[in-house]
């Protein structure tokens, strides 16, 4: 039930019908993101960038060759952690389209975390 102001200043209860299923939910999420750009940008640049950087760091040993000494796949992700954090941070801060930035950073984090979890199983 949604309360709406009617012409004449009266407050009345009304029903809103949603159609479209998943598309309506995605539209609602995009509207929520566009309505709160400072909050979303802060969440993307803060915890979102850290999670994306850590997911990338955790996945690097899966595709990075071990090198001659056999430790490059473990040492390089640790050394590159500031860069792995800086890329999603600056993307989140400088992105013009926050909806796209949210989708990209979320997808990168989820896919990389899923690959790491599958490799551990």
Q: Which residues of 56-78 are buried (b: 16+ CB within 10 A; e: fewer)?
A: bbbbbeeeeeeeeeeebeeebbe
C-alpha count within 13 angstroms, C-beta hemisphere, residue 61 = 14
State the average pLDDT over residues 22-28: 67
Under DSSP, the state recorded for 34 is H
Q: In which band, very low, low, confident or very high, does the pLDDT at 15 lie, cut at 50, 70 and 90?
A: low
Query: pLDDT by residue (tens digit) across 32-87?
Result: 999 999 999 999 999 999 999 999 999 988 888 887 888 888 888 888 889 999 99
Answer yes or no: is pLDDT of 110 > 70.
yes
Q: Helix crossing, 81-94 with 49-63: angle to 10°?
A: 140
What per-residue confidence (pLDDT) applies to 50? 95
Structure pTM? 0.72
């Amino acid at each position: 039930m949604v309360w709406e102001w009617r012409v004449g200043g009266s407050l009345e209860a009304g029903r809103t019908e949603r159609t479209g299923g998943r598309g309506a939910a995605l539209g609602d999420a995009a509207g929520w993101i566009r309505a709160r750009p400072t909050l979303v940008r802060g969440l993307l640049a803060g915890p979102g960038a850290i999670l994306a950087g850590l997911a990338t760091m955790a996945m690097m040993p899966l595709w990075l060759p071990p090198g001659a000494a056999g430790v490059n796949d473990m040492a390089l992700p640790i050394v590159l952690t500031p860069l792995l954090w800086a890329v999603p941070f600056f993307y989140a801060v400088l992105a013009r389209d926050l909806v796209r930035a949210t989708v990209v950073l979320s997808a990168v984090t989820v896919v990389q975390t899923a690959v790491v979890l599958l490799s551990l199983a």
